[in-house]
Amino acid sequence: MSKKESFIRGTLILAAAALVARVLGLVQRIPLEHMLNDVGDASFSIANNVYLALLTIATAGIPSTLSKMVSERYALGKRAEAERVYHAALIFSAVMGVIITIVLYVLAPFYAANISKQPEAALSLRALAPALLLFPTIAMMRGYFQGRNMMTAGGISQIVEQFLRVGTGIALGYVLLYSGYNDKWIAAGASFGGVLGSIGAFAVMIYYSVKLRQDDKAALLRDGTSGALIPMRQIYVDIFKISIPIVLSSLAVPAVNMIDSSIVKPLLLGAMGEAQATEALGILGARAQSIAGIPPILAIALSTSLIPIISAAFARKDEEHLRNQITLAMRISILTGMPIVIILCAAAYSLNGLIFSSLGGSEIIGVLTFGTIFQITMMTSNSILIGVGKTNLTMKHVLAGIAVKLISSYALAKWLGVYGIYGIIVSTGLCFLVITILNVRALKTIVPFSILGGRWAGFVITVILLGAAGFGLNEAGIQLVDMMPARLAFFIACCLVGMVVLALYPVLLILFRVVRENELSSYPKVLQKVLRPLMKLQRSRSVG
């Protein structure tokens, strides 16, 4: 298998796992949103966002660091040294799992009552805390397998984790609902599903680890124990030197979500009151963040599988391969993420009516989702910088972006008054945009590359035309509510928008020469099959 095919195969495996995980996460939110009121939605969202931020801190960026260190050592033939690094990471993850679980359980009431101003969330935070016992270790195991370019184990463990988390969360929620418990208990029961998900994911990783150990036994005996006596202290010094900047880089999205969980109610209380502020927080967490999490799915998979590929090329000083991979990664992340953003933004009203209990907050969903195109570019460029060893740059850029997020959130929320929630959402997009700009500027000084060159105008025109067409189709589709059941009308509207945008998107990319025939060979085969037959449109236009 060629390097490019291996990279794309790994990306597709992780993309499939991430897609399943994201869909299941959305599937969980839909029944929960129908079961819970605004207090329950807000409590569940706060617990989930705090958990994800703490999980990132608990693992200290070591999965990404581990992936990088393992891939480099295997590329240089230092197998035993790579195994020693892995064992050190497992010891650290076990200790951190215990510490972070205790911290979350003890401080949950204080955070819920005094920071997020949602005291009912304390129970959900405590219900989810035990999941942190295992997830740091699971993350290390996934990082090790990714470092060896074995994406299947991590992908399957992620799918099993989500099935168990979602299934048990929904089941516990229904049991508590029909047993007469109030919203904070139902939200806590749904949160506890994450604990069972962690157990399932851990079991899968243990299975693959045992299987891999058996396969490696002969090779390890043949290679001897070279590098096995590296002092643990030196390993930890090397790990933390890389991982501390990585954890700050990786915190961009969970930190932004946690910031929103912490500041939405305090910033909006004065302008709109307790009930409306709680409703806005519930919509942002239960609906908007769930929908907005769909477009970056491929970018997450791309970023995860990109680090070992970039690291190995950088270690070998293979500049041409490095440049090609960077160009391919940035281009694919933008071109594949944009149509999903367009569809979800244009059909936000119909999508909201189709899957949730009311139409409230459709604008919040649309505005937050539009900003995810900058999240996609941020995540991909962050991973590239990490892969070439510039973790300090990613750390500084993320910190700058988070500073922009905090300052602009406070400024815009106060300025917009009762519409302050939109200021908080716009500040999220600004945060990701600032990080992207800083990343791309830094990358071009390290490895000269061009994403789309002089074709940005054609790309922007494509987005504007499809956005207008999508909004028009959505408005036409929702007129059907007077002729049939509302959810059926919303379903038809969503399908219309999705089909038309997906059909016209590659056509417009080719007509406006955003994608050109002489570069098709650098794209994944699945994209080549879609684009190659359409190239006659470009040729006929050139002739005309």
Q: In this structure, which amino acid lies at residue 186?
A: I
pLDDT at position 1 is 45
Which ranges of 317-347 would DSSP assign to H, the alpha helix?
Answer: 319-346
Other C-beta atoms lying within 10 Å of the C-beta of residue 226 = 11
Task: Name every residue whose Cβ is closer than 8 Å to that of residue 502 and which is 6 or more positions away in sequence.
Answer: 339, 343
Residue 340 phi, psi dihedral angles, 5° rounding: -70, -40
Query: What pLDDT, in 10s, does the model give residues 251-269?
Result: 788 888 889 888 888 888 8
pLDDT at position 85 is 86
- Angle at 12 (CA atoms; ends 190, 209), nearest 5 degrees: 70
**pLDDT confidence tier of residue 246, bands split at 50, 70 and 90:** confident
pLDDT exceeds 90 at position 37 = no
Which ranges of 111-182 would DSSP assign to H, the alpha helix?
Answer: 121-128, 135-147, 152-178
Query: What pLDDT, in 10s, does the model give residues 125-154?
Result: 999 899 889 988 998 998 888 888 787 888
User: What is the overall mean pLDDT for the chain?
Assistant: 83
Other C-beta atoms lying within 10 Å of the C-beta of residue 319 = 12
Burial of 324 (0-12, 13-18, 19+ CB in 10 A): middle
pLDDT at position 5 is 43
Task: Name every residue whose Cβ is closer than 8 Å to that of residue 244 and which is 6 or more positions away in sequence.
Answer: 60, 61, 395
Other C-beta atoms lying within 10 Å of the C-beta of residue 374 = 21
The four Cα atoms 513, 514, 516, 519 give a dihedral, to 10 degrees, of: 160
Closest C-alpha among 367, 369, 398, 368 to residue 381: 398
Other C-beta atoms lying within 10 Å of the C-beta of residue 175 = 12
pLDDT at position 4 is 47
469-490 mean pLDDT: 90
pLDDT at position 8 is 55
- Residue the block writes with tokens 């409590």: 43
Q: In this structure, which amino acid lies at residue 524?
A: P
Per-domain residue ranges of the chain: 3-451, 454-544
207-235 mean pLDDT: 70
pLDDT at position 10 is 57
Tally DSSP H helices, then E strands, for the chain.
22, 0
pLDDT at position 358 is 79
pLDDT at position 115 is 87
Which token pair is 165?
Answer: 């988390």
CA dist 67 and 141 (Å) reads: 10
- Angle at 405 (CA atoms; ends 271, 299), nearest 5 degrees: 125
Which ranges of 36-78 would DSSP assign to H, the alpha helix?
Answer: 38-59, 62-75
Residue 534 in contact with residue 513, Cβ under 8 Å?
A: no
Pick the more confident residue, 387 or 91: 91
Task: Name every residue whose Cβ is closer than 8 Å to that of residue 436 and which is 6 or more positions away in sequence.
Answer: 374, 377, 378, 381
Conformational region of residue 2, where left means phi above 0, alpha means psi within -120 to 50, and beta covers everything else:
beta
Residue 346 in contact with residue 478, Cβ under 8 Å?
A: no
Residue 515 in contact with residue 453, Cβ under 8 Å?
A: no
CA dist 17 and 10 (Å) reads: 11
187-213 mean pLDDT: 90
Q: In this structure, which amino acid lies at residue 189?
A: G
Query: What pLDDT, in 10s, does the model give residues 330-371?
Result: 888 888 889 999 999 999 999 998 888 778 889 999 999 999
496-501 mean pLDDT: 94
276-293 mean pLDDT: 86
pLDDT at position 63 is 79
Other C-beta atoms lying within 10 Å of the C-beta of residue 364 = 23
DSSP of 400-446: HHHHHHHHHHHHHHHHHGGGHHHHHHHHHHHHHHHHHHHHHHHHHHH
Query: What pLDDT, in 10s, does the model give residues 67-85?
Result: 878 888 887 777 878 888 8
pLDDT at position 378 is 92
505-519 mean pLDDT: 83
pLDDT at position 299 is 62
Which token pair is 33?
Answer: 């949103």
C-alpha separations of 191 from 36, 185, 326, 397 in Å: 13, 10, 38, 32
- Residue the block writes with tokens 């949602």: 118
